[in-house]
Structure 1
């Protein structure tokens, strides 16, 4: 299953709190990427958001992966997880009952 993960600084945390953990964090992200569970990663500076796309068996496995990240362990980042699925709305293109009157 595919998951979108948004990581944002925890309440009250500043760049100064996070900076010393950057190298271990990036190494952990690289390890997940090399292991094939982390598929994509992005960063937005303002507001600061790290976006990760994981592909794992289930949400428990995902949280296990996230719990290995040093900044999560140090409670420096909050996480938001969104399970991604197929875009079933395409069904409207082919299901005549959903089209309404012509």
Structure 2
């Protein structure tokens, strides 16, 4: 299962607050990325923070990894967790006459 997580600075925390701790934070995420646990990592475009997509068995497992992040341990961040899965079989909603056969990519 994929779990999309995103953080938000707690009140009073600024980029200047976290900057000294970023090398350790980034190294931690990089290790998880190399292990196949973190699948995607983005900077937020709407405010300071990150979006991380985990490949894990549960939200609780994602929380265990996030709770081990240096910035989380220091109490600088709060996190939101969104578990996602494959959408319902969309083909089941289509009329039988709709062509969903291979080749799927017909732009070539």
TM-score greater than 0.5 by the shorter chain: yes
TM-score by length of 1: 0.83
Whole-angstrom distance in 2 between the partners of 1:55 and 1:89:
21
SS, match of residue 31 in structure 2: helix
Is 1:82 matched with 2:72?
no
Contiguous gaps of at least 5 residues in structure 2: 97-108
Contact residue 3 and residue 58 of structure 2 kept, 8 A: no
Contiguous gaps of at least 5 residues in structure 1: 97-102
Name the structure with the higher helix share: 1
What is the CA distance between 1:87 and its match in structure 2?
A: 1.8
Partner of 2:42: 42
Whole-angstrom distance in 1 between the partners of 2:68 and 2:42:
19
Is 1:93 matched with 2:103?
no
Is 1:10 matched with 2:10?
yes
Higher-Rg structure is 2
Partner of 2:61: 61
Size of the aligned set, in residue pairs, is: 96
Whole-angstrom distance in 2 between the partners of 1:75 and 1:83:
23
SS, match of residue 88 in structure 1: coil
Whole-angstrom distance in 1 between the partners of 2:37 and 2:52:
10
* Over 6 Å off, 4+ runs: none
